[in-house]
Amino acid sequence: MTNLQHIVKEEHVGTRLDKLLTDLNEDYSRQQIQTWIKKNDVTVNGEYVKANYKCKLNDEIEWEIPSENEQTFVIHPELIPLDILYEDDYLLVLNKPKGMLVHPTQAVQSNTLVNGLKNYTGQLSNSSGDHRPGIVHRLDKDTSGLLVVAKDNHTHDQLQVQFQAQTVTRIYEAIVEGVVLHQSGIIQAPIGRNPKNRLQMAVVTEGKDAETHFQVLKRFSNHTHIACTLKTGRTHQIRVHLKYMKHPIVGDEVYGKISDYIQGQALHAKQLSFVHPQLKQKMTFTAEPPEEFEKLLQLFQSKS
C-alpha cells in the first residue's frame, strides 16, 4: 500500500473530500475514491468521514493506494478516435487530446489512449510492461499534444535510448499566471518528491537534475504565453519549474490554483523531434494547440 498525505489549502476550502482526492489522484476515478472512503482507507484529522465532507483549512487528509504490483486487470480494446500524424511499420506519432489518460490504471481501465491503440493495431511493444503497450513516454492527463508510440521492442528500446541521452527535442506551449519579464531564460533546478506532499513533485536539493528553457511568445495584462523546451524529462518538470519561477500554468490545480477560465492546465506538447530508429532519419512533428487553448489566448488578448 502507498500512504499519502495532503494538507488542505485555502483554495480548496469547501471542496467535497471525494472531489479533492480525485483532483489529487488523476489516475483514479471519483467512484474509486468514494470506495476508498467507504472502506475507511481515508481519514481527515485522524477521523473517518463521508465522501461529501466539506474540507476545511489545514485539514490533514491521509489515504492509502494499493501498490502497482498488487493490481491486475485486462486491457480491453476500444474504438476511440486517434489523431495519428504519422505511421509506418515501426512506430506512429499521434496528438493526444486533453483529458485522456495515456494508459489504464487499477481504477481507470477504459477510455485511455492505450485502449484506443489496442483496438487500432495488434502490433505494439511491451518493453514498458503489458499494461503500457507501445508507450515510450507519457503526457499528463490534462496535457495535450504529441506522443511517439513504438510497435516493436527494438524500436521502443532505441527511442528510449534517445530520450535518456536527451537527444529528443520536445517543445511545449503554456499559458502562465503573471507577466514573465525576461524574454527567454533557462531554469536549472533539481526535481524530486515534495517532502510535504508525496503526490507532488518539487524543486528539492536532493532531487534529480532538471533543465527547462523558456521563451516568451506573447505578454498579456496578467498572463504570458510561453514556449518551453525540455532538456531533461522529469515528472511534471515544466509544471514544477514554472511554479518555482512563480508563474504557474493557468488551470494547474496541483501546482497553481483553480482557474475560472479553463479546467486543467493550459499546457500542450507542440513539437517532437527524434531520429527514426530504423530509417536513421531525423523526424520532426508539429501539432497546434487545441481550440480551448487558442480561445484562452484570445480571451486574455481581449482583456489586455
Q: Which pLDDT score is estimated for 22?
A: 86
The Cβ-side half-sphere exposure at 260, using a 13 Å CA radius, reads 2
CATH number of the structural domain spanning residue 136: 3.30.2350.10
**Residue percentage of the chain with pLDDT more than 70:** 95
d(CA 256, CA 250): 7
Q: Is residue 289 part of a domain?
A: no
Q: Is residue 76 part of a domain?
A: no
Residue 258's domain comprises: 170-269
For the ranges 25-34, 49-58, 92-101, 107-116, the maximum mean pLDDT occurs at: 92-101
C-alpha cell at position 105: 490504471
Closest CA to 119 of 99, 140, 101, 133: 133
pLDDT at 292 over 50: yes
Do 252 and 174 lie in a common domain? yes
Do 205 and 265 lie in a common domain? yes
Query: Domain boundary residue among 70, 100, 126?
Result: 70
Q: Is residue 204 part of a domain?
A: yes
Do 251 and 218 lie in a common domain? yes
Do 56 and 122 lie in a common domain? no
Say which residue the cell 499534444 belongs to: 145
pTM of the model: 0.78
What does the pLDDT look like over 23-57, one tens digit per residue? 888 767 788 888 888 887 899 988 888 999 999 99
Do 194 and 224 lie in a common domain? yes
Number of Cβ within a 10 Å radius of residue 254: 21
Q: Is residue 295 part of a domain?
A: no
Kindly give the residue spans of alpha helices, DSSP state H, lying in the chain: 17-24, 30-38, 113-120, 153-164, 237-244, 291-303
pLDDT at 2 over 70: no
Determine contact, residues 182/236, Cβ cutoff 8 Å.
no
**Residue 285 backbone phi and psi in degrees, to 5:** -125, 145
Do 15 and 95 lie in a common domain? no
Do 111 and 186 lie in a common domain? no
The number of folded domains in the chain is 3
Measured at the CA of 140, the angle between CA 125 and CA 91, to 5 degrees, comes to 25
d(CA 256, CA 252): 5
- Residues involved in catalysis: 140
Q: Is residue 64 part of a domain?
A: yes
Determine contact, residues 181/66, Cβ cutoff 8 Å.
no
**Bridge partner residues of 169 (DSSP):** 273
Q: Is residue 279 part of a domain?
A: no
Determine contact, residues 165/137, Cβ cutoff 8 Å.
no
Comparing 282 with 192, the larger pLDDT belongs to 282
Determine contact, residues 146/95, Cβ cutoff 8 Å.
yes
What does the pLDDT look like over 118-135, one tens digit per residue? 999 999 999 887 888 999
